[in-house]
Amino acid sequence: MYHIPIMPSESAQYLVNNPGGLYVDCTFGGGGHTSYLLDKFKDIRIVAFDWDGDAFERFKERERGFCGRVTFIRDNFKNIEQALKNINIDKVDGIFADIGVSSKQFDDAERGFSFNSGVLDMRMDDRNPLTAKEVINSYPESELADIFYKYGEEHFSRQIAAAISARRKRGVINTARELQDVVRSVKRPEGKINPATKVFQALRIFVNAELDNLERLLASAPKLLNTGGRIVIITFHSLEDRIVKVNFKANESEGVYKILTKKVVTACDDEIKANPRSRSAKLRAAEKANV
């Protein structure tokens, strides 16, 4: 499957407060969450965002089946305000985002997200000029260490950056395997976890400016939601989850939101068994107050 949606039932439960409303799927991917919502709620309409060209191709393949109920915008969801304004939408009933890498992106060796990739790319949008290969081969050692620590919470950041700097003297680091070998030279595996996991996470987040994109989406959401409208965000690591948690709490304290998930929602055992990638997912939801 192109992409297995994470917690689709829980997402729909928290997102849809108006079964005839207009909703935004900020991360269309393979269309899993959008399809689930359309099937469950026969009268809703969806504006779907994705900056990945593969996602746009997938939308075109499925467009006829959506029966005119989905409008696709190929753009970064950080631009949600202007993008919706461009199609004469100023308010919506819900905003959903699954802040993760799709199965297709992980499995495509040419995208550079996985440990088995032949390239070091990691761009979610191929129009982005910055690749992981450029970062690894041209950024100063100190900046690499900062990236690994800030975005990957990698405690071996300085040692790994130093090893990369030394390895670059022998030639360009071209592939995921070459980068893994450098990381393994200074960091031992922790159980079954690949020692390069945090480095790859950090590179992906940095190349795609993922945390900044999320913060900009969260800043725009209150202005776009109707009263009673919902925002649902699924994250996959602590940096993202912390940003969402802090934003929701700040908006609740100002009377803008009512938090619907007092405790973070996680995937059930059956879903984790069927889709191991759901194991680290965390869902948080809030509702726009009457302000």
Cα gap 47→24, rounded to integer Å:
5
In this prediction, residue 35 has a pLDDT band, given cuts at 50, 70 and 90, of very high
Q: Which regions of 13-134 does DSSP assign to beta strands (E)?
A: 22-25, 45-49, 70-73, 92-98
Cα gap 176→181, rounded to integer Å:
9
- Residues forming a β-bridge with 96: 25, 232
In terms of DSSP bridges, do strands 225-235 and 282-288 run parallel, antiparallel, or are they unpaired? antiparallel
288, containing H or E segment? strand 282-288
Residue (of 262, 257, 122) closest to 199 by Cα position:
122
What lies within 8 Å, CB to CB, of 106 at 6+ separation is 113, 114
Mean pLDDT for all residues in the chain: 92
* Amino acid code (one letter) for 122: M
Cα gap 16→285, rounded to integer Å:
11
In this prediction, residue 206 has a pLDDT band, given cuts at 50, 70 and 90, of very high
Q: What angle do CA 19, 23, 24 make, to 5 degrees?
A: 160
DSSP 75: S
Location of structure tokens 């989905």: 70
pLDDT in tens, 54-93: 888 888 888 888 999 999 999 999 999 999 999 999 999 9
Q: Is the Cα torsion angle 8, 127, 84, 224 positive or negative in sign?
A: positive
Mean pLDDT of 20-39: 94
Residue (of 3, 6, 14, 81) closest to 47 by Cα position:
81
pLDDT in tens, 85-127: 999 999 999 999 999 765 554 455 555 556 666 789 989 888 8
Cα gap 94→228, rounded to integer Å:
9
pLDDT in tens, 232-250: 999 999 999 999 999 999 9
**HSE (side-chain half, CA atoms, 13 Å) at 170:** 8
